[in-house]
Amino acid sequence: MKVHLKTYGCQMAKLDTALVTGALKTKGYSLTEHIKEADVVLLNTCSVREHAEQKVLSHIGQLKHIKKQKPDLVVGIIGCMAQRLGDDLLEDGTVDIVAGPGQIPEIIEMITKAISEKSRQVSVADNIRKAGPQNPALEDFESVYDTADKDIPGQAFVRVMRGCDNFCTYCIVPYVRGPEISRPVDKITEQVKRLADEGVKLVTLLGQAVNKYKSRYIGTAGDKTYSLADLLYKVSEIDGIEWIRFVTSYPQKDGFIELMQAMADLPKVCNYLHMPAQSGSDRILKAMNRHYTAAEYLEMLDAARQIVPDITIAGDFIVGFPDESDKYFEQTVELVKKARYKNCFVFKYSNRPGTTADNRLQDNIPLEVKKQRNYRLLEVQEKISEELSAEFLDKEVAVLVEGPSKKPHLNAAESQGRPQLVGRTADDWIVVFNGDESLAGQFAKIKITKTSPLTLFGNQI
């Protein structure tokens, strides 16, 4: 049996894909890149913006045609969109399996039944916000299968929290991934140890608001409640792991100084903080149910820079949130100028059915205005990124090499016929240089000879 598995979502979704891949392989399925060869097509989906859902719906449309020629093809939709839409996805007769993010441990059984019984299989959480605090099936699934990145050697993601309780008014995540749950400390450390034994050097700890991590652990040292900072100390002890990152942080003062101190203290913890502000307007932040003001957010960045002087900061913004006037948007521009991010991700507000913003507010900013604001914010950021990257000129940096560059960055003379490789610094700067492909998954030292807003170029030393 051959399975074609495609992922549409964020790092969390990619992690789910890695687990499902592990389960499929263990049960004797093989994976194929080509839909035409596949007996089963699984789409792992995202609901965070409408655009992501539209891409999946159009993929289902293509599968409908393929199924006309190949009626036995089994089509499964897993992940956030499966949880959001449930059996509505079965309506046009293309989809056979629907499994929410909490139901992925059932996927093999569902595929087997869909094939042997030729029946439709739907498994999603009934009342997801009331789901029990721990889900043993998910925890087992998570701790059994390998989460090392299949495309980038030497790297792995490890989930430390599931779900979210923050209820930012625009966000679908709390409704599709359920309540916030921190995974047990020992399960996380065991998983990281296994990954280190496999040769993983960089581990990225994942959570929707990862700095809210809190887990009680009764170990040899007694009964202790672990914060993310405590967990970083624990993970740092694991031999073989050289770099540790954590994403995404929520701007909350609680535990922040302690977290930055852990970053300063622990050489393995990368000086990198991804902490979205979402807006620079206090009025919009309030409407988003984000529990901080722009001034408080900037104070946190100041504190971070005081404790970890060379810290690199990245952010996310939503433009065109309901009632975002020109004045409010300008406040976001001001915040971006003051924050001096390495980079930021800018998203056009997308109304998500069932969220508080959908229930209470009008999506009243025209698409054209959202596009202009998106463009403008990226333009402001690009100038800052350019200034920050220029500081690397003639400096030496350590990178973890990812592999060959997908797009050619250097001209033939610059690359001297050797493959162009891509690596990243601990603080997430992308570095392009010439080198041997066998360096993938290894550390290299690079002297920077040229810079651009998002990419540094250099030579191996």
Angle (nearest 5°) at CA 311 between 308 and 317 = 130
Residue 167 contact partner, candidates ligand 5AD, ligand SF4, none, CB within 5 to 8 A by sort of partner: ligand SF4
Binding mask 216-255 for ligand SF4 (x = CB under 6 A): ----------------------------------x-----
Q: Is 443 in the site for ligand SF4 (CB under 6 A)?
A: no
Q: Is 15 in the site for ligand 5AD (CB under 6 A)?
A: no
Task: Scan residues 202-221 and list those touching ligand SF4 (CB under 6 A).
Answer: 208-209
Here the tokens at position 398 are: 């350590």
**Closest CB to ligand SF4 among 332 and 420?**
332
Residue type, 427: D
The enclosing H or E element of 249 equals none
Binding mask 273-292 for ligand 5AD (x = CB under 6 A): ---x-x--------------
| Number of residues binding to ligand SF4, judged by CB under 6 A | 10
Candidate list 290, 352, 370, 373; residue touching ligand 5AD; CB under 6 A: 352
Stretch binding ligand 5AD (CB under 6 A), from 217-225, 342-350, 384-392, 393-401: 342-350
Q: Which residues of 155-174 are buried (b: 16+ CB within 10 A; e: fewer)?
A: bbbbbbbbbbebebbbbbbb
Here the tokens at position 263 are: 């970053």
**Closest CB to ligand 5AD among 365 and 426?**
365
Binding mask 136-175 for ligand 5AD (x = CB under 6 A): ----------------------------------xx----
Here the tokens at position 280 are: 């620079």
User: How far is 438 from 434, CA to CA, in rounded Å?
Assistant: 12
Here the tokens at position 20 are: 């499902």
Residue type, 126: D
**Closest CB to ligand SF4 among 76 and 174?**
174
User: How far is 150 from 31, CA to CA, in rounded Å?
Assistant: 12
CB 49, min distance to ligand 5AD, A: 5
Q: What single DSSP character describes residue 278? A: B
User: How far is 461 from 453, CA to CA, in rounded Å?
Assistant: 23
Candidate list 43, 85, 158, 173; residue touching ligand SF4; CB under 6 A: 173
User: How far is 260 from 297, CA to CA, in rounded Å?
Assistant: 15
Tell me the backbone φ, ψ of residue 392, rounded to 5 degrees. Answer: -85, -10
Q: Is 8 in the site for ligand 5AD (CB under 6 A)?
A: no
CB 99, min distance to ligand 5AD, A: 22
User: How far is 372 from 337, CA to CA, in rounded Å?
Assistant: 18
Helices (H), 70-106: 80-85
Q: Is 376 in the site for ligand 5AD (CB under 6 A)?
A: no
Instruction: Classify the C-alpha dihedral 10-11-13-18 as positive or negative.
Output: positive
Candidate list 168, 273, 307, 308; residue touching ligand SF4; CB under 6 A: 168
Candidate list 8, 297, 329, 347; residue touching ligand 5AD; CB under 6 A: 347
Stretch binding ligand SF4 (CB under 6 A), from 21-29, 95-103, 154-162, 165-173: 165-173
Q: Is 166 in the site for ligand SF4 (CB under 6 A)?
A: yes
CB 349, min distance to ligand SF4, A: 12
Stretch binding ligand SF4 (CB under 6 A), from 103-111, 168-176, 417-425, 440-448: 168-176
Query: Any bridge partners for residue 243, and if so which?
Result: 202
Q: Is 81 in the site for ligand 5AD (CB under 6 A)?
A: no
- Residue (of 132, 148, 128) closest to 47 by Cα position: 128
**Closest CB to ligand SF4 among 135 and 248?**
248
User: How far is 428 from 459, CA to CA, in rounded Å?
Assistant: 18
Residue 427 contacts residue 443 (beta carbons within 8 Å) = no
Residue 316 contact partner, candidates ligand SF4, ligand 5AD, none, CB within 5 to 8 A by sort of partner: ligand 5AD
Q: Which residues contact 309 (CB under 8 A, 6 or more apart)?
A: none
Task: Scan residues 28-67 and list those touching ligand 5AD (CB under 6 A).
Answer: 48-49
Residue 263 contact partner, candidates ligand 5AD, ligand SF4, none, CB within 5 to 8 A by sort of partner: none
Residue 345 contacts residue 374 (beta carbons within 8 Å) = no
Burial of 247 (0-12, 13-18, 19+ CB in 10 A): buried
List interacting residues with ligand SF4 (CB under 6 A). Answer: 164, 166-168, 171, 173-174, 208-209, 250
List interacting residues with ligand 5AD (CB under 6 A). Answer: 48-49, 170-171, 276, 278, 316, 318, 347, 349-350, 352
